[in-house]
């Protein structure tokens, strides 16, 4: 499974998200490759799940894959709930 | 990079970067630009970024949207390494009165964080430590209410001590 975390430049917000998701998934025994990406170079990439800050949703309008939007990027519970739900959905399809 | 900020594996600890030179408490500003200038000035003063980096941080914020307001009341500003970063750096300014940054959910902001990265790796340890700190609502509340620079610096030290976040030798 490949998960992309997105932000404008690929090493601030997206890196922070990657660090959190790494920790959450490791704790739950879920194996995934989590890649921080900047919006510009992400275009055209294939991943299973995209995770981005809520406010970035508008930049993802044309993207038809699975998108998880996070409102509070330091709220581990919000991140955990949303990412686990997306992974379950993915496994069910 | 200065000897002090080098740390292990060339990845400095947050504690070596958030010091009395780069931390200011209870500042008064009236706009988000002023808030960004205030934290930028600290980094310029510490010799870790060029002045143009401060302008770049503001431009990135304007271009990319308000997602940099990562949590209620907290903004994390940065630009690109090539925008004038001299060495990995972090700064923190808390505001006496919160100001709006234009985020639909997380406004207004009273904890203004900024960092400069030289590549995609050297700032990771400090960023991870910062993330851990911000994840703790009690710690954030104490940062928010610290009344002066010295208290804020001591607080950051105490919040990190005794955990995996402690500074290297």
CATH code of the domain in which B130 resides? 3.40.930.10
B161 within some domain = no
The pLDDT of B18-32, averaged and rounded, is 97
**Counted domains in chain B:** 1
Cβ-defined contact of A16 to B131 (cutoff 8 Å): yes
User: Which candidate from A7, A15, A74 shows the least CB-CB separation from B71?
Assistant: A74
Whether residue B61 is predicted with pLDDT greater than 80 in this model: the reply is: yes
In this prediction the ipTM stands at: 0.89
Distance from CA of B120 to the nearest CA of A (A): 6
| CATH code of the domain in which A25 resides | 3.40.50.2300
Q: What is the pLDDT of residues B83-127, one digit of tens each?
A: 999 999 999 999 999 999 999 999 999 999 999 999 988 999 999
Structural domain that includes position A48 = 2-92
pLDDT tens digit sequence for A22-68? 999 999 999 999 999 998 899 888 899 999 999 888 888 888 889 99
Task: Indicate the number of domains in chain A.
Answer: 1
Q: Residue B78 and residue A53: Cβ atoms within 8 Å?
A: no
pTM for this entry: 0.90
Whether residue B32 lies inside any domain: the answer is: yes
Which domain does B151 fall in, by range?
A: 12-156
**B162 domain residue, yes or no:** no
Contacts 24+ apart (CB under 8 A), B32-37: B32/B61, B32/B75, B32/B99, B32/B100, B32/B101, B32/B102, B32/B109, B33/B58, B34/B99, B35/B75, B35/B93, B35/B95, B35/B99, B35/B101, B35/B109, B35/B112, B36/B61, B36/B77, B36/B112, B36/B114
Give the model's pLDDT for residue B167: 42
């Amino acid at each position: 499974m490949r998960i992309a975390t997105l932000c404008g430049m690929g090493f601030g917000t997206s890196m922070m998200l990657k660090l959190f998701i790494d920790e959450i998934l490791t704790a739950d025994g879920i194996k995934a490759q989590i890649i921080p990406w900047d919006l510009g170079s992400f275009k055209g990439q294939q991943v299973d799940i995209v995770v981005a800050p809520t406010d970035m949703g508008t930049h993802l309008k044309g993207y038809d894959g699975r998108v998880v939007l996070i409102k509070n990027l330091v709220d581990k519970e919000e991140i955990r709930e949303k990412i686990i739900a997306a992974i379950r959905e993915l496994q069910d399809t | 990079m200065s000897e002090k900020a080098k740390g292990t594996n060339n990845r400095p600890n947050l504690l070596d970067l958030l010091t009395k030179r780069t931390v200011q408490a209870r500042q008064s500003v009236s706009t988000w630009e002023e808030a960004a200038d205030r934290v930028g000035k600290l980094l310029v003063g510490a010799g870790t970024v060029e002045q143009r980096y401060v302008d770049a941080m503001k431009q990135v914020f304007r271009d990319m949207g308000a997602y940099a307001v990562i949590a209620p009341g907290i903004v994390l500003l940065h630009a690109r390494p090539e925008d004038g970063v001299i060495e990995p750096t972090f700064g923190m300014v808390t505001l006496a009165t919160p100001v709006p940054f234009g985020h639909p959910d997380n406004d207004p902001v009273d904890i203004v964080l900024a960092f400069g990265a030289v590549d995609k790796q050297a700032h990771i340890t400090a960023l991870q430590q910062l993330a851990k700190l911000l994840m703790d609502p009690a710690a954030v509340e104490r940062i928010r209410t610290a009344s002066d620079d010295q208290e804020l610096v001591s607080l950051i030290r105490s919040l990190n001590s005794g955990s995996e976040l402690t500074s290297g030798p």
